[in-house]
Structure 1
Amino acid sequence: MHSYYDSERQLTDGLPTVQACASELCLSSNYFADLIKKQTGITAGEHIHRFVMSMAKSRLTAGEQVCQVAYALGFEYPQHFSRLFKKMEGCTPSEYIASRNRRPDHRADNGDTGATAG
């Protein structure tokens, strides 16, 4: 999925799909989906959505506007992004930004000490 976004395919092809990810690895969609489910315990589609939401939260935290994030990640409409974000995260992107802005130390809630792994 990193290569999908690094090559900016989302700008022409939209969100990554199970088929696109499987194709990148020269696997059938069904085999790829089975591998992901066996390794992670979640569906390939949910795995992709979690990856996209992780990128979205990073961009939102960095100060990008909701519409910018939606289009940059490959959503056709910002409303679709907001709907998926709320489904996955339990709040809208705007609520997420507001909650992050109210916290004096964004790292305090997720156990991040600021140290980087080597």
Structure 2
Amino acid sequence: MTTRDIEQRFWRSPLVPWIEWRSTAHSSQAYKLHQHPQFSIGAIIDGETVTCCSGREYHLYQGEMVLIAPREAHSCNPAGNRSRSYHMLYLDEAWCLQQLGFAPGEHLHCTQTVLRSPSFFTAFMHIISLMEDSRTEALQEAVRALLVSLPGLQTAEKPAEFCNHMQTTLLADIQQPPSLDCLAQRYTLRKETLIRQFKLATGLTPAAWVNNARVEFAKAQLRAGNEIADVGYESGFADQSHFHRTFVSFTSSTPRQYAQGRSISDNK
């Protein structure tokens, strides 16, 4: 089964811009190690998922949940190429910090990755039902109630200044970021040392991080309704085939599937 044949839904709404919902059914597609700027909460509906996060591997089964901090490199792949079904909620980090009473600009961190609790799973599925029924008026309180009850959420130290500066440099021109040779010269480091230090801080090599950043940029453009062909070019991909392959490898969905995700307000 190809990615485009998998049943996937992406739901979002201007009424609740701090949340996005993804639902994927009976998929054996795998992801590359990746990260995203949102705090994410996942729930396994059927099958088994192998999650790699913070250098550890976790096996999740039906009724179990995973918590992934913003910018945490991770993958959530099927076990033994068998299909699994799951829901993912992506929550804006700034919104989460506000609900949790943390200072703006802090970095959210999870000390617990896996939840094996029927009560948390029931609360999560209640949130999904609210979105399915377009009950946006009740959604914020339900999500907030789940968020503040989750164990192990705290703030973390910010990345080293070198890493922050290098990420800013790479993002300054997403279409043509500086080469590793140029960066190594700028930071007076051997190229191998630069790659090692960057991966230690982010979980990704600079090349993988740039591709991940391009995909996140593309997702924002697609959410805004921009044309797929234009988005691929603006995101820095050589051609549409390169854009499609990279997008699928990091998201396990096609750009078109992601772009066609309807707002939950469309069902009202």
Normalised by the size of structure 1, how large is the TM-score? 0.67
Please, which of 193, 207, 214 is the counterpart of residue 45 of structure 1? 207
CA-CA distance at 1:43 after TM superposition: 2.1
Q: What aligned pairs does 1:16-55 form with structure 2 within 5 A after superposition?
A: 16=177, 19=180, 22=183, 25-26=186-187, 27-55=189-217
What CA distance in whole angstroms lies between the structure 1 residues aligned with 2:230 and 2:184? 28
CA-CA distance at 1:17 after TM superposition: 6.3
**Ranges in structure 2 where 5+ consecutive residues have no aligned partner:** 1-169
CA contact (8 A) 2:198 2:205 kept: yes
| Residue 57 (structure 1) aligns with | 219
What CA distance in whole angstroms lies between the structure 1 residues aligned with 2:235 and 2:185? 18
CA-CA distance at 1:25 after TM superposition: 4.1
May I ask how many residue pairs the two structures share in their alignment?
Answer: 95
Q: What aligned pairs does 1:69-84 form with structure 2 within 5 A after superposition?
A: 69-84=231-246
CA contact (8 A) 1:56 1:69 kept: yes
Normalised by the size of structure 2, how large is the TM-score? 0.32
What CA distance in whole angstroms lies between the structure 1 residues aligned with 2:225 and 2:212? 20
The structure richer in strand per residue is 2
RMSD: 2.3
Q: Tell me: CA distance 1:76–1:42, structure 2 relative to 1, closer, same or farther (3 Å).
A: closer
| Residue 264 (structure 2) aligns with | 104
CA contact (8 A) 2:184 2:194 kept: no
Larger radius of gyration between Structure 1 and Structure 2: 2
**Ranges in structure 1 where 5+ consecutive residues have no aligned partner:** 106-118
Give 3-state SS (helix, strand or coil) of 2:232's partner: helix
1:90 aligns with 2:252: yes
The structure richer in helix per residue is 1
CA-CA distance at 1:18 after TM superposition: 5.3
Identity among equivalent positions (%) equals 25
CA-CA distance at 1:66 after TM superposition: 1.0
